[in-house]
Structure 1
Amino acid sequence: MQDPSQTPYPPPSPPRPDWQRLLLRWLISSLGIFAAVWLVPGIQFSGPGWHIGIVALVFGLLNALLRPLILLLTCPLVILTLGLFGLVINALLLGLTSALADQLGISFHITGFWPAFWGGLVISLVTTTLSLLAGDTQIRVINVRPEDGTK
């Protein structure tokens, strides 16, 4: 077996500090929400641009606090739909974010379930893509070959 220190692959980069990862996730979420406002009819935002950052913060807090509980309560439905019910949960959390933003005096409105559904999908796609591009989510594939020389 080959010594792992002599592999032709570069060593993984050191992880970012927690505050940098948190700031990066917040900025990426803000861009995802901006993309949803721009692409999905039925999602409106007006006001200073930094308000989108507050909306991203509220959405992130709701996802961190409520999503695990909702997933636990709807686990059979999530399994039955092969995870697609997660998009419905995302839409509900985005609608709740809209209601809370209104309470905070931020003009972020969603006109119904379907704009929330498509907006949640856009936010998920954008944040996943940008997280991969930014290196926040690392994917490493390791190919293990048998020692006896067979292919």
Structure 2
Amino acid sequence: MLLNFVIKTVINGIALWIAALLVDGITFGTQADTAAIVRTVLIVALIFGVLNTFVRPIAKAVSLPFIILTLGLFVFIINALMLQLTSWLADQLNLAFHVEHFFWDAVLGSLIITFVSMILGFFNPKD
């Protein structure tokens, strides 16, 4: 169980890092130290994982009519909200992670994170 949690956290971290590389509005700060960047990515991945575990199901339940009305496309908005909430919590914890604009940066970032997590999830032996 712990190994599965670690693997999913690493997958989230890689997905967040790739999204930060591809989307200009998602940044992990301007630190020159590689160890500090890796530490920030892992902590942000933990925050993102906790939010997706506890907050995302509640948000999906509350917005179920919108999800049905849009044939499931509203889930991407919920994912963008989770990314924006992760950015806010990282700011509260003085971490160098920031998402600039909700619609363009967060939605595009959530699409990239979903796609990369899906691909990397195939390599997870526990799933």
Structure 2 residue 124 is the aligned partner of structure 1 residue 134: yes
SS in 1 for 2:27: strand
TM-score, structure 1 length as denominator? 0.76
Partner of 1:24: 7
Partner of 1:64: 53
Alpha-carbon offset, residue 83 of structure 1: 1.1
**CA–CA separation in structure 2 for the residues paired with 1:23 and 1:38:** 22
**CA–CA separation in structure 2 for the residues paired with 1:54 and 1:26:** 9
Q: What residue identity is the alignment partner of 1:65?
A: F
Partner of 2:21: 38
**CA–CA separation in structure 1 for the residues paired with 2:114 and 2:125:** 16
Aligned CA RMSD, in angstroms, stands at 1.1
* Contact residue 40 and residue 95 of structure 2 kept, 8 A: yes
Alpha-carbon offset, residue 135 of structure 1: 3.4
Q: What residue identity is the alignment partner of 1:24?
A: I
Identity rate of aligned residues, in percent?
40
Alpha-carbon offset, residue 107 of structure 1: 1.0
Partner of 1:5: none
**CA–CA separation in structure 1 for the residues paired with 2:9 and 2:48:** 10
Alpha-carbon offset, residue 122 of structure 1: 0.6
Higher-Rg member (1/2) = 1
* Superposition map of 1:1-150 within 5 A: 18-46=1-29, 47=31, 48=36, 49-113=38-102, 114-137=104-127
Partner of 1:142: none
Alpha-carbon offset, residue 81 of structure 1: 1.2
Runs ≥4 in structure 1, deviation > 3 angstroms? Answer: 134-137
Give the helix-richer structure, 1 or 2. Answer: 2
* Contact residue 28 and residue 40 of structure 2 kept, 8 A: no
Partner of 1:146: none
Alpha-carbon offset, residue 55 of structure 1: 0.4
Q: How many residues align?
A: 120
Q: What residue identity is the alignment partner of 2:50?
A: L
* Contact residue 44 and residue 86 of structure 2 kept, 8 A: yes
